[in-house]
Structure 1
Amino acid sequence: MIRVAINGYGNLGRGVEQAITKNDDMELVVVFTRRDPGSITTQGAPVAHIDDMPAWAEKVDVCLNCGGSATDLAEQGPAAAAHFTTVDSYDTHAEIPAYYASVDAAAKAAGHLAVISTGWDPGLFSMLRVLGEAVLPEGTTTTFWGPGVSQGHSDALRRIDGVLDARQYTLPIQETVDAVKAGDDVELTTRSMHRRDCYVVAADGADLARIEKEIVEMPNYFSDYDTSVTFITAEELAAKHSGIPHGGTVIRRGETSPGVAERIGFELELGSNPEFTGSVLVAMGRAAVRMAARGQTGARTVFDVTLADLSAISPEELRASYL
């Protein structure tokens, strides 16, 4: 059995916990938290404070880091890699090279392996972008996200002073999606491809104008998009925005000879973003354990992970039934 730790018990942590129950070769042995461990109720696993990680170093095969990218993982990733083989879903695309370097240094110093930026984007979508370009070297790749709730962007909203809770919806511009699928010549910019809708519960007396300004001007998250901000009550948020659906599409278009068009598409439609992302982290956790067992150390990405390492099925069965 692969012994798994969850680091952070929010939506993603609970999604990972649910995913582990679907994998017969894995067991959850501990949940780490910054909060009072006594305040956390899991499906049965013990809860420990993050300061107690060293005591679990020999009892955990892989630690799945489930903090947010806005502030948590920059510290959580390198810190956990000092004690365990790790997997995370760091998703601030522009900062991935710097994050990779910091985790790589920590993991190498400790002799551990750390697979970063897994999930579905970055993650599965990243793999499909590389695959599409490798197969169709002459062409264009387009990624659309949504419609759905972005966990990372919603988390970034909640970090703003005066915000009690929030949901952020990423919405593709349908006219642009249709044009890309049809192969039309269309200008693709950040603003022409997606918009962002934010629903915010503010504290009593909070400066709503300041909060809205911070949101629409936030770099890497909202500043490059047409972003709407709607202030609502906690009751409205619970009634109308309690779910966490998401999805998206990767499209690679190219030609194999003049006038011969080809298209590769990969699409996700998710009822629960955190449960699906958690499922990806669990599969990546299996791969990380196998890679570490072969002596690999330092940081890795999804580009370094094989399908055989991801799968619980033996190589022999994969060849016999899936190839």
Structure 2
Amino acid sequence: MTKLQVAVIGLGRLGRACAEALILDSELGLAGVVRHSGAPGTLPGRLQRFPVASHVRELADVKAALVCVPADAALGVARELLQARIAIVECACFEGKALEAHHAALDEAADHHHVAAVVGAGWDPGVLPLLRSAFEMLIPRGQTLFHRHPGLSLHHTAAAAHVRGVKGALAGEYSGENGSTQHYVYVELERGVELAQVQAAIAADPLFAGEVTQVFQVERLSDLEGEEGLGVVLDRRGSATNGPHESLLLESRFDHTTFSARIMLDAVRKLPRLRRGAHRYALGL
């Protein structure tokens, strides 16, 4: 099977993550990397065997491009690629009206040059708003609580580890938007122990009493030790007056750049079947 040849535009953290992912992909190929003229002429590590250029026209057989440049340069770079009739995927981080204007400009350019583009193909904008919408669709009446805890550092906590049935525990804290302290506790449990009992015992401990504390069960604490990736908690709580109490909880720890690269590769696979113009990223695109 002939692989779709994809160029990576920019080689910062996101560009490198995309290039590394393309090397391992069974459907996509790395056509090369485009860097500014002042950058080194060779690529790092296993990327060395791939072409590096100062302009996409110097690369052969490029069918699509991943725009991995800073947000303030993304529109100009994307327009130039679309003018060259190269389909693109981008994930520039804007909010509100700035995001709407950015997407509208790319839709106009992609439609004018008869080529497809996928916009907002990252974590946020991208997958995170889709998850929030899904939670609110499934529980139409209620409240959505959302917290970020970037770079959350975990430490061992005796208060949680001494709870009956807990083999070990790690905790982390961060300040919420209103300045209050919020706790995240990850516990490894003995066989047969119910998480609800442990959650109640930890919430009653003086160390955590009166403060927001989320307790999550993990299979092995060793998998979390040393990790300091982005953390997200998305909590949807139903407010229906009758029927069962409904709630959805997403707790995640991950590397933002790695996730964004995976999302961009998912988007570029869908480009060949899309009509011209810009398309907002969606899981079922």
Q: Which letter maps to 1:299?
A: A
Q: Secondary structure at the match of 1:299?
A: strand
Q: Is the 8 A contact 1:108 1:297 kept in 2?
A: yes
Deviations 1:221-258 (A, max 9, x none): xxxxxxxxxxxxxxxxxxxxxx9832323222224553
Shift of residue 298, structure 1, vs aligned partner: 0.9
Shift of residue 98, structure 1, vs aligned partner: 0.5
Partner of residue 202, structure 2: none
Partner of residue 103, structure 1: 106
Identity of aligned residues (%): 23
Q: Is the 8 A contact 1:116 1:299 kept in 2?
A: yes
Structure 1 residue 117 corresponds to structure 2 residue 101: no
Shift of residue 74, structure 1, vs aligned partner: 2.8
Partner of residue 279, structure 2: 300
Shift of residue 110, structure 1, vs aligned partner: 0.9
Q: Is the 8 A contact 1:115 1:299 kept in 2?
A: yes
Partner of residue 168, structure 2: none
Distance 1:104 1:245, change over 3 A: same
TM-score with structure 1 setting the length:
0.59
Gaps of 5+ in 2: 153-173, 185-198, 200-226
Shift of residue 54, structure 1, vs aligned partner: 4.2
Structure 1 residue 278 corresponds to structure 2 residue 274: no
Distance 1:66 1:138, change over 3 A: same
Distance in 2 separating the partners of 1:248 and 1:28: 31
Partner of residue 89, structure 1: 91
For these two proteins, the number of residue pairs brought into alignment is: 214
Partner of residue 41, structure 1: 43
Gaps of 5+ in 1: 150-170, 183-242, 310-323
Deviations 1:240-290 (A, max 9, x none): xxx9832323222224553632122333312x3322321221122112x24
Distance in 1 separating the partners of 2:139 and 2:13: 37
Distance in 2 separating the partners of 1:244 and 1:176: 17
Q: Is the 8 A contact 1:139 1:255 kept in 2?
A: yes
Q: Secondary structure at the match of 1:39?
A: coil
**Higher normalized helix content (fraction of residues):** 1
Distance in 1 separating the partners of 2:120 and 2:175: 22
Distance 1:278 1:102, change over 3 A: same
Deviations 1:176-208 (A, max 9, x none): 688xxx9xxxxxxxxxxxxxxxxxxxxxxxxxx
